[in-house]
Amino acid sequence: MSQRSEPLPRIRVRPLTRANLSIQLTLLGLTLLTLYSFTTFDTRGIGLVEALQDMLNNFRLLLLEPRLRSVSFADLLEALFVTVGLGLLTTVFGAIIAFFLALFAAQNLAPIWLNNLIKGGTAFIRAVPTVLWVLFFAVAAGMGSVAAVIGMTFHSAGYLIKAYAESFEEIDAGVLEALRASGASWWQTVFQAVVPTSASALLSWTFVRFEINFSTAIAMGATAGAGGIGFDMFMASAFYLDLRELGAFTYAILVFAMALEWFATHMKARLGKSRE
């Protein structure tokens, strides 16, 4: 009875915290931007429904009837090796450069001004899309593998410096302190404590970057004259308009990329287990 005469205040279920509010605002903002974006699309008179139907037909052709015409199977393999080689080379070069610079970018290993200098520089390097790095170097070195290797190495190094430095910073401060207390020099500390403890993290980041670089190498073949399978795909698409040949190339990169991903997953699981 007393409840009816004097209604109790409503109880709020979800408190209006900063996190909840931020989530709602972010979702709202992204939704509005997306809806607005659809109104700005340059459709060039293409009807979406017909084009989507066409896309499904094309997928069928691409995936169910692949075959080679302008190149042989041996050519395809060679092109794939060129692309893989490009990915590997840039990952190795990037990793070597990144290892040394990351030591100076880690807060527990080098002075803070040096950390900030390197981290700022790598943020800039990463902000430039890889393709623009490659095209930039192509002006001085000409279109080809040299520009592709330098450009991709730049971006890889920028990415790996950040990843490596963060791995170094996770090292237990006590371990470093103990070595320093025993009179070890800076380089001794690095090779006796820093490298062994972070080796598996470095390895798995490097492999992640190799996966990225394999993809990038395809893209550079298509856009920046780096050759390999990306270039063949570009030719099949833009010049021969041959979807079925494009399908054969697609299968080649798909199989390789899935194998890499499978390997990475298993390596991660093994490293995780050995750490326990």
Contacts with another protein in 193-252 (CB under 8 A)? 215, 218-219, 222-223, 227-228, 230, 233-234, 236-238, 241, 243, 246, 249-250
Indicate which single residue of 68, 102, 135, 157 sits in contact with another protein (rule: CB under 8 A): 135
Q: Please answer whether residues 166 and 248 qualify as being in contact, where contact means their C-beta atoms are separated by less than 8 angstroms.
A: no
Indicate which single residue of 2, 4, 5, 8 sits in contact with another protein (rule: CB under 8 A): 8
CB of 108 to another protein, least distance (A): 22
- Residue with smaller CB distance to another protein, 76 or 228: 228
CB of 4 to another protein, least distance (A): 12
Beta carbons within 10 angstroms of residue 222's beta carbon: 20
- The structure tokens 């970018």 sit at 105
CA distance 173 to 191: 15
- Residue with smaller CB distance to another protein, 44 or 275: 44
- The structure tokens 């450009």 sit at 151
Binders of another protein among 136-165, rule CB under 8 A? 136-137, 139-141, 144-147, 149-150
Indicate which single residue of 128, 184, 208, 264 sits in contact with another protein (rule: CB under 8 A): 128
- Residue with smaller CB distance to another protein, 168 or 234: 234
Binders of another protein among 70-109, rule CB under 8 A? 78, 81-82, 84-86, 88-89, 92
Contacts of 269 (CB under 8 A, 6+ apart): none
- Residue with smaller CB distance to another protein, 33 or 74: 33
Per CB under 8 A, does 118 bind another protein? no
Per CB under 8 A, does 258 bind another protein? yes
Q: Is 57 exposed, middle or buried (0-12, 13-18, 19+ CB in 10 A)?
A: exposed
CB of 49 to another protein, least distance (A): 12
CB of 250 to another protein, least distance (A): 6
- Reported residue count of the chain is 276
Q: Please answer whether residues 239 and 274 qualify as being in contact, where contact means their C-beta atoms are separated by less than 8 angstroms.
A: no
Binders of another protein among 34-53, rule CB under 8 A? 34, 36-38, 40-44, 46, 48, 51-52
Q: Please answer whether residues 229 and 218 qualify as being in contact, where contact means their C-beta atoms are separated by less than 8 angstroms.
A: yes
- Residue with smaller CB distance to another protein, 176 or 218: 218
H runs (alpha helix) in the chain: 2-5, 18-40, 48-64, 73-105, 112-127, 130-141, 145-169, 173-181, 186-189, 195-223, 228-234, 243-275
Contacts of 62 (CB under 8 A, 6+ apart): 243, 244, 246, 247, 250
Per CB under 8 A, does 116 bind another protein? no
- Residue with smaller CB distance to another protein, 23 or 178: 23
